[in-house]
Structure 1
Amino acid sequence: MNYGKRGIRATQKALNSKTKKWTRKFGLSLVKLTLAACAGLVICGIAGGIGAYNGILASTPQIRLSDVVASGEATIVYDCEGNEIDQYVSINSNRIQINSMDLIPKHLGQAFVAIEDKRFYQHNGIDMEGIARSGWNFITSMGKRKEGASTITQQLLKNTIFTTWTEEDGNLIKMIKRKFQEQYLALEISKYYSKDDILLRYMNAINLGQNTLGVESASQRYFGKSCSDLTLSECAVIASITQNPYYLNPIRFPESNAERRLKCLNIMLELDFITDAEYDTAIADTDAVYARIKAHDEDYRVSTNATSGSYFSDAVFEQVRDDLINIAGYSETMAENLLYAGGLRIESTMDPTIQAIADEEFANPENYPENVKWYLNYALTVYAADGEKHNFSKENMMTWFKDNQDKKFNLIFSSQDAAYEAIEMYRAAVMADLGIANEEDNYAETVTMTPQPQAAMAIEDQSTGYVVALVGGRGVKEGRRTLNRATSSTRSPGSTFKVLAAFAPALDSAGQTLATVYNDAPFNYANGTPVKNWYKGYRGINSIREAIRESLNIVAVKTETVITPQLGYDYLINFGFTTLTDGETINGDFFTDINQTVALGGLTHGVTPYELNAAYAAIANMGTYMEPKLYSRVINTDGDVILDNTTPKSKQVIKETTAFLLTDAMVDVVTTGTGAAVNFNRNMAIAGKTGTSTDYWDVWFAGFTPYYTCSVWAGYDNNVSMSRSGGNREDHVARDLWRAIMSRVHENLPNEQFTTPPGIVRAQICPDSGRLPIPGLCAAKSELFAEGTVPTEPCTVHYTGTLCRYDVLPASPGCPFPGEGTLTLPLAEDPSLASGSTTLTTNPDGTVTPVTPGVATTCQHNEEFFANPDYEAILANQAAELMQRDIAAGLYPAPEDWEDDED
């Protein structure tokens, strides 16, 4: 430094320089401002952070522990013994709630704590030690090692409240916001609720693989038992799934699950949750526990039709859905949501023993013809080079084959190989026509083949209306809610309708009896079409009893004509049929089931086995129709009964006496008539009716015992005639199945007879007239009647007394050719039926009356005859003709042998 005079002056000048003074002041001010700004930023940051945190907390859902429950729970269907038979499950709803920790084994909760949150019982909902460890590992591994620090409480919230966390998709802000809210709520929940409450809800909520949610659903799926029955070894298996429900699934990846299970057991031992002995037992069970899981999985897939369900459970779904809408008042959408994810408990009416018998017999090839046929359902899509699609249906295929190969082609094949050969031929022809190479990349096709003939069945307890078994088809069921032939396919009921549409109303309210007779002779419908019998020729006079036993078509149609088709239709509606029509236009043509053909099952749409069975059950139940039901109760997750079906709707559709008389006649069907082949026990009362539709498209047997009513249908899905000859008689399928099933169902049931109600009496009648027999003249026969319906008029068919020898009829007063004798007169049927050729006459008021010639009851020689001026000549000719008859009969010698008297 310069301390001389100049130096000192320079220093003074510098110190007093205004430029430097302002520079220093500006710099100082800048520093101050910078420090103030930084302080402000820090304060603002803190305030912003507090504000943001408060904002996050403000947007946090306000909840109670009761809100922290997983939504969506599987609906479970039980059989009548309380066994689970099916579940209706949508996405995220295969859950079975457990409402008490008492129902969960101690080791199951401990296993989850051990493997998921060791300090669960020590922390307040947030594990700070776990968070610190996770953060340190993340930093030291340069972000490569990520560990979860979520507690069981936080996982519960993630599974119940923050269910959209999977949609964060790398969005850091969303993730941080959710984490803050999750931790806040975890602290809040832990303040007010016990660890057991939190753990229970956690175990009800978690995903445990195999489309199961919650420990009860998982326990049932993997081990086939309630979680309350799980062993320590099994508890460790289930607790080890939750970290990764796919890769730790004990069915798909048992080795991966076993590795984590070992870790779980080690931690449980470390935490003193289990003893050394318990640990050793669980370790020793390692191989066995996965073998049990595998074995149960195989049984589960077979017994519960895991992917396709059963025809019975499909039908239960439809009925419960309809009742939720029509009875409980839910909308269609709400009803379906309840069924798929509402956690309902449905108590079905299925009897597992009877259903198993039905399933086994439907699968038994011995109940069908040896040569199985296959019905092809085919669809083809061909892709052109420009991307255009060409679609072809099975109808297109059928048309092509009829035009090019076989006019009788019907998509029925003798084997699956034959069907594939036809597919190859058709596809090649289609692609050649389109100019496209027949290569796999150029087409897609759907092929389904169904065994034929098909069959369906329903069995009902007629006293309750409960359907105990149901089968909707033969062969492998391809999926859920597929075609159910028992409840959805309408087919012609054939001759089973004779009893329901003709004979039941005739006996019940039209004044006829089992003894009422008709002439099985040529007869036409009102439109002039002849009524055909199922056999050749005609059988003459037959009673209604005989018509039921032998299934006589003409007698049934004549009965329907007399009682009127309208009355028959009204009774059918009362019997519960919903597929009939009193008039509708289809493709411009008018159709109605109020006609004579209804007696033979000639219907517009047909009926289902389910409804036909219910109608026959009404006869079995002394005339009381019980609306058929597939479930008894439906209970919601709160334990409330929302549908109570324990007392199905009922109504008296025919008198008790009518029901018994029809039953007695149908006993004849089984003992000596067309249904004798189904009689499996001569000491058990069995009644029923065969049924066959036109061209044998449908064959039926509907019958009952004092215990159950069963109806079986068989036929081709595409209305192909059933074979009726040789050793391959397809028309026997319905009867064979009925006998096979019902004989096994009744194996251990006491033999019973049908109960005779009050009001049934027995009387002697003439079988040819249905009236009181004439002693010594009629071959009297015993018949049953309802009181008040026993005939009071004598027989009009058999006659003894004065006859007209020329007309061979009872003589009119003044008959010139009287003689004594007996004879059988023509049956005096209703005038509209007597001639066998009914015509219609239109009356002045527009009504139509059937008109046929009447039947003569006395000879022609009445007052009108003698009023004819030429009566003497006519009488002379008749006398000569009568003489010739007598000579031909050997009553007199021929004229050339006459000798003159000696006089």
Structure 2
Amino acid sequence: MTVLKPLLRFLAWFILSAVSAVGIAACGIYIYLAPELPDPDELRRIELQTPLRVYSADGKLISEFGEKRRNPLSYAEIPPSFINALLASEDDGFFEHIGIDFKGLARAAIELIRTGEKRSGGSTITMQVAKNYYLSSEKTFTRKFTEIMLALEIEQYLSKQEILELYINKIYLGKRAYGIEAAAQVYYGKSIHELNLAQIAMIAGLPQAPSAANPINNPRRAIDRRNYVLARMLTLNMISQEEFDQAARAPVTARYHGPTSEIIAPYVAEMVRREMVAQYGDAAYTAGFRVYTTVDSTSQTAANRALQSGLLKYDRDHGWRTPKPMATLQTLAVTDTPELAEWLKKADARYDIDWPATLEEWNSRLLARDDMGLIAPAIVTRVMPEGAWVLQQNGERWLPFSAMLWAKPYINVNVIGAEPASPADVLQPGMEIWIEETSAGPLLAQLPEAEGSLVSLRPADGAIQALVGGFSPTSNQFNRAIQADRQPGSAFKPFIYSAALAHGFTPASIINDAPVVFEDAGLEATWRPENNSGKFYGPTRLREALYRSQNLVSIRILNQVGPHRAIRYIEPFGFPRHKLNADLSLSLGASAVTSMELATGYAVLANGGFAVTPYLIDRIEDDNGQLLYQARPAVACRNCPEPVTDPKTGEPDANAAIHAPRVMDERVHYLMISMLKDVVTRGTGQRALVLNRDDLAGKTGTTNDQKDAWFAGFSPDLVATVWVGFDQPVTLGRWAFGSNTALPIWVDYMGTALADKPPRPYEQPDGIVSVRIDPVTGLLAAPGQPDAIFEYFREEDVPKELARPARQPDNEGQPAAPEMIPEQLF
């Protein structure tokens, strides 16, 4: 007893001293670290890094950009089942402790003493919030003490709900997913609210090892972790035994889901991305901007389909190019013995194929191929007399011989070979091909070599409704809609004719369609332009010349107006002056412009004569939905009142509409519209009649040697330009013209884009009159003349002279023309 008392006294003093030492040490550490501790109240104002998201005008996701995929949720939006799973997995005492778990820390300390290694940190969710938002991941005692003190302070400033909200939105869960909503989208393609118990437990188990133990990288380890979470939930009476049994037996259903685009508009998305980075720098990728474009989702989908369908048809019409890449056939490993050597020489090669290994490799190849819209990749597995079996991402399917009858061998752009006699003439096992899905079933396809673009604008203000810069950006990211300068050919003639009408010509003006010769020391050879038909029509009314697309008439009217004067007139339509040739080649569309620039010019024709500027971004919002930018485009308005001004400052009202400037006289505009409508009803644009509308106008364009094919056209509600050609200008073939190559794509697109827009007439302005004229001379028709036609004129331009009796037509039904002697123009 005597010995025991001093010993107990010693132990008591020892424990007291140890506690005091720990307390003093803790105070010292706090005094040392406290000045550098961040303010926990900043967590309420912290901005999470969220990606840039791009939407259509009707709110459909086009794309997102940024390294971190995140969809923040409020605490009220977190499913209770997930909260239970997370707490069971990470911190079941979260709602009771003060920010630190003393038992967990003690357990971590004992492990460190026993093993000499830091295996667990005893971290609570609050401590993890402190680390994730303020600290690094280095495993040091200083960082750990800082984490503990921060956790204690965070608990003083924030509620448990606020802490949990910060945690579930910040935590990294693998595959670029930050936060539980992003993880649900990445692994299951659903919202966290749509997941079942097994899937929720899978995500709740990810924080421990998100890269190494996620269900895509390591399904077996992920199942073990998921079932641990479920077992903890069962132990804590969060779920029943039946729920546990069902969830623990559930198979892994996770697979990678990239950003889910609701409409395909990659060229639009890239244009927005560049603009946002130019304006906001790297913050564009992390600040959570939401950009709403002017693009209409229905129109964009129609544009994608129309351009791809048109290019695929052009490609089929020019023959089958045997694919170069061949998928490897894996052969069986056979022991090389003398007994088998002779048999192997005679054996059919197909018996040597290791099909399980081959199909596994081919599946991997198919999964690695990019989406190409209307066509999907496939690999030929077997070729039969009636067709072929092909492997696609969703399994094997039958491709009948009828689906490959078009595959006549490509010889050159103008020549194709004979129709195949059997599938073996086209396909062989291992060949990598493409399949197009059509209403009649699968169709053999190939990636087109010809390219194209489609641009569609709302003419009233220049809002881009649809834009496609090529067959697919996965094959080539070059945006032909805004980056490719190509000669528009005859599609440019409406601007030459507009300049002529503005400078004294009328639709009835007679121009001689006869040969011309250009002698110029700057040219290597004499230039002798011709009409596409190779014919000369003699004296021709301006209206006829436009819908027949007669080149020689265009040259003559530009020669009379003057190239420089014409350029001064045309430039305000939206064409950069430096791109316009100041010579007579301008009349034939030899000045290279982009599809967007041509569409901008045609918008002036469609909207009544007002210059509008194309724009793509309608508004920008921050991550909280606050408006940062709202577009205020200039609007074409014929009878709009003048903008309201502030009586004090005299400045225009900041919210008033901005009026687009008029660059085309309204009467000239009306005459031009009536002529361009004739292109559709009587000329090279007649394929558009299938749309059964009376408000369509436009112009075909085909350049020398058929290197470019165009159609540019419009209604009062919509403008669209279509271009088809090769990136390196070579001929599309002797049968390729704007009327049969570009126009069908335009018709396909406009049929959908205008489906809900009834035809609208063009309003006839004051000062326009319709009179009867002689169709041969353009003069006033004689009284009772049987072949007289009506023509529109400005009042002051009505012909004063009566026509003489008409000449007798020649053998081709055209008025007799004088002998065609080439005229020299300089």
Q: How far does residue 233 in structure 1 lie from its aligned partner after superposition?
A: 4.3
1:543 to 533, 541, 544: 541
Q: How does 1:559-598 map to 2 (within 5 A)?
A: 559-578=557-576, 580-581=577-578, 593-598=581-586
* Alignment CA distance shift 1:557-1:680 (3 Å): same
RMSD: 3.9
CA separation of 1:353 and 1:826: change in aligned 2, threshold 3 A: closer
Q: Which residue of 2 aligns with 1:837?
A: 824
SS of 1:315 mapped into structure 2: helix
When normalised by structure 2's length, the TM-score is: 0.71
Shift of 1:96: 3.0
Distance 2:179 2:165 in 1: 10
- 2-side partners of 1:476 and 1:639: how far apart? 31
Q: Cα offset for 1:705?
A: 3.0
Partner residue in 2 for 1:693: 703
Q: Within 1, Cα distance between the matches of 2:413 and 2:206? A: 49
The residue aligned with 1:113 is 87
Task: Tell me the alpha carbon deviations over residues 126-162 of structure 1, each in whole angstroms, 9 at most, x when there is no partner.
Answer: 121111122223434x236712322212222222222
Partner of 2:156: 191
Is the counterpart of residue 339 in structure 1 residue 284 in structure 2?
yes
Partner of 1:312: 268
Distance 2:574 2:240 in 1: 65
Distance across 2 between alignment mates of 1:411 and 1:463: 41
Following superposition, the deviation at residue 638 of structure 1 comes to 4.1
Select which of 198, 217, 242 maps to 2:207: 242
CA contact (8 A) 2:467 2:481 kept: yes
Q: Secondary structure at the match of 2:166?
A: helix
CA distance in 2, matches of 1:413, 1:489: 28
Cα offsets for 1:11-54 (capped at 9, x unmatched): xxxxxxxxxxxxxxxxxxxxxxxxxxxxxxx9999988855552
CA drift at 1:665:
1.8
Equivalent residue number for residue 457 of structure 1: 454
| 1:337 CA displacement | 1.5
Mapped contact 1:372–1:452 kept (Cα < 8 A): no
Which digits, 9 at most, give the CA deviation of each residue in 1:310-358, with x for residues without a partner? 1221122234455x3xxxxxxxxxx231322221001122322332233
Could you tell me which amino acid in structure 1 is paired with residue 744 of structure 2? D
Alignment partner for residue 518 of structure 1, among 511, 519, 526?
511
Aligned in 2, Cα 1:336/1:658: closer, same or farther, shift over 3 Å?
farther
1:191-232 Cα offsets, whole Å, 9 max, x none, are 121011111111111112221222232233334444455554
Asked if structure 1 preserves the Cα contact closer than 8 Å seen for 2:291 and 2:619, the reply is: yes
> Residue in 2 aligned with 1:718?
728
Q: Is the 8 A contact 1:454 1:714 kept in 2?
A: yes
| Aligned match for 1:357, one of 284, 292, 302 | 302
1:451 counterpart SS class: coil
Distance in 1 of aligned mates of 2:133 and 2:416: 56
SS in 2 for 1:680: helix
- Tell me which residue corresponds to 1:741: 749
Correspondence for 2:499: 505
What corresponds to 2:10 in structure 1? none
**SS of aligned partner of 1:354:** helix
Matched, 1:130 2:118: no
Tell me if the contact between 1:624 and 1:653 (Cα under 8 Å) persists in the aligned partners.
yes
The answer as to whether partners of 1:629 and 1:648 remain within 8 angstroms in 2 is no
Structure 2 partner of 1:94: 69
Preserved CA contact (<8 Å) 2:769 2:793: yes
Tell me how far 1:598 sits from its aligned partner. Answer: 1.7
How do 1:424-463 residues align onto structure 2 when only pairs under 5 Å count?
451-463=448-460
The match for 1:443 is none
> 1:65-76, aligned counterparts within 5 Å?
65-66=42-43, 69=46, 71-76=48-53
> Residues 441-840 of structure 1: matches in 2 within 5 Å?
451-475=448-472, 477-478=474-475, 482-500=477-495, 502-507=496-501, 509-524=502-517, 527=520, 529-578=527-576, 580-581=577-578, 593-603=581-591, 606-645=592-631, 647=633, 650-683=660-693, 685-725=695-735, 732-746=740-754, 748-749=755-756, 751-759=758-766, 760-775=768-783, 779-786=787-794, 788-795=795-802, 836-839=823-826
Query: Residue 487 of structure 1: SS of its match in structure 2?
Result: helix
TM-score normalised by structure 1 residue count: 0.65
1:400-452 C-alpha deviation (Å, 9 max, x unpaired): xxxxxxxxx9999999xxxxxxxxxxxxxxxxxxxxxxxxxxxxxxxxx9732
Confirm or deny: 8 A CA contact 1:633 1:646 kept in the other structure.
Answer: no
Q: Secondary structure at the match of 2:206?
A: coil
Task: Read off the aligned partner of 2:212 and give its amino acid letter.
Answer: Y
Partner of 2:132: 159
Question: What is the DSSP-based 3-state SS (H/G/I as helix, E as strand, rest coil) of the residue aligned with 2:709?
Answer: strand
Query: What is the one-letter code of the residue matched to 2:488?
Result: P
Gaps of 5+ in 1: 1-41, 325-334, 378-408, 416-448, 583-591, 801-823, 828-832, 840-903
CA spacing shift, 1:742–1:230, aligned 2, 3 Å: same
Q: Aligned to 2:272, what secondary structure does the other structure show?
A: helix
In the TM superposition, what is the alpha-carbon distance from 1:367 to its structure 2 partner? 4.9
Instruction: State the distance in 2 between where 1:535 and 1:410 align.
Output: 23
Change (3 A) 1:610 1:230: farther
**Paired position in structure 1 for 2:257:** 297
What does the per-residue CA deviation read over 1:527-577, in whole Å, with 9 as the maximum and x for residues that have no partner? 474433222131112222112201111211222222222233234331223
Matched, 1:150 2:123: yes
In structure 2, the residue matched to 1:366 is 313
Report which structure shows greater RCO (CA 8 Å, sep ≥6). Answer: 2
| 1:492 shift after superposition | 1.0
Task: Map 1:42-57 to 2 at 5 A.
Answer: 51=28, 53-57=30-34
Change (3 A) 1:730 1:563: closer
> Which sections of structure 2, spanning at least 5 residues, go unmatched?
1-18, 325-410, 418-445, 521-525, 636-659, 808-814
Between 271-280 and 551-560, the greater mean CA deviation after superposition: 271-280
Q: What is the aligned counterpart of 1:348 among 283, 293, 298?
A: 293
Aligned partners of 2:625, 2:262: CA distance in 1, in Å? Answer: 28
CA change 1:374–1:319 in 2 (3 A) is: farther
Per-residue CA deviation, residues 67-117 of structure 1 (Å, 9 max, x unaligned), is 67464320111122212221011x4x332333x322332323333222122
Q: Is the 8 A contact 2:700 2:738 kept in 1?
A: no
Contact 1:712–1:738 (8 Å) recurs in 2: yes
Relative distance call for 1:711 and 1:835 in structure 2 (3 A) is same
Largest Rg, 1 or 2: 1
In structure 2, the CA distance between the partners of 1:254 and 1:647, relative to structure 1 (3 Å rule), is: farther
Determine the C-alpha separation between the residues in 2 that align with 1:146 and 1:274: 30
User: Structure 1 residues 636 and 765, CA, compared in 2 at 3 Å: closer, same or farther?
Assistant: same
For residue 517 of structure 1, report the CA deviation from its aligned partner. Answer: 2.2
CA contact (8 A) 2:318 2:415 kept: no
Percent pairwise identity = 29
Q: Residue 56 of structure 2 contacts residue 292 of structure 2 at CA under 8 Å; is this kept in 1? A: yes
Give the distance between the partners of 1:200 and 1:301, measured in 2 at CA. 25
Q: CA deviation at 1:526?
A: 8.0
